[in-house]
Amino acid sequence: MAVCHQYNATFKSDDWYAYLINDKSVPLEQVIVVSKGENKKNKTAVLRHKLAVLPAKSGAKIELMQQEVLALDNIFHVSFFIANKMFDKTFVFPKNSISKSKLKSIPLLGKEGVLQL
C-alpha cells in the first residue's frame, strides 16, 4: 500500500490518495480492500473496495484520504486470490506517518508517496 500526494486538477487542490500496489509477477484476483481510520477517541466509517483483477507490476487508486484522517491510524485489510488460493495482509499507516516530509519516489506508480510493506 502507498499513500500518494498528488494534484487534483478537477478541484485544483493537493490531495492524498491510497493505492494498492501489486509488485508480484502474477495478477491478484478478486481483491477486497477494507479500510478504516481510528484512534482511542475517533474512528471513521469502514470503507470497502473491490477490484476484479490487479495486474502484475501495477497499482490501483483505492480512495481519497481527507487531511483529517491522517491524524488517525489508517488500517487497510487486503484479501485476494492467486491461482485459486486466498491470501490476506494488513497494512497500517500509524497516525501522522503520512506527511509531505516523508514522501519518497514510488517507481511502480510514477508518483511520490508514503509506502507501507
Q: Just give the CATH number of 2-115.
A: 2.60.40
User: What pLDDT sits at residue 8?
Assistant: 86
Report whether pLDDT(11) > 90.
Answer: no
pLDDT, the chain, mean? 96
48-92 pLDDT, tens digit each: 999 999 999 999 999 999 999 999 999 999 999 999 999 999 999
Give the pLDDT of residue 9: 87
Task: Note whether 34 and 77 are within 8 A (CB).
Answer: yes
Candidate from 6-20, 21-35, 71-85 with smallest mean pLDDT? 6-20
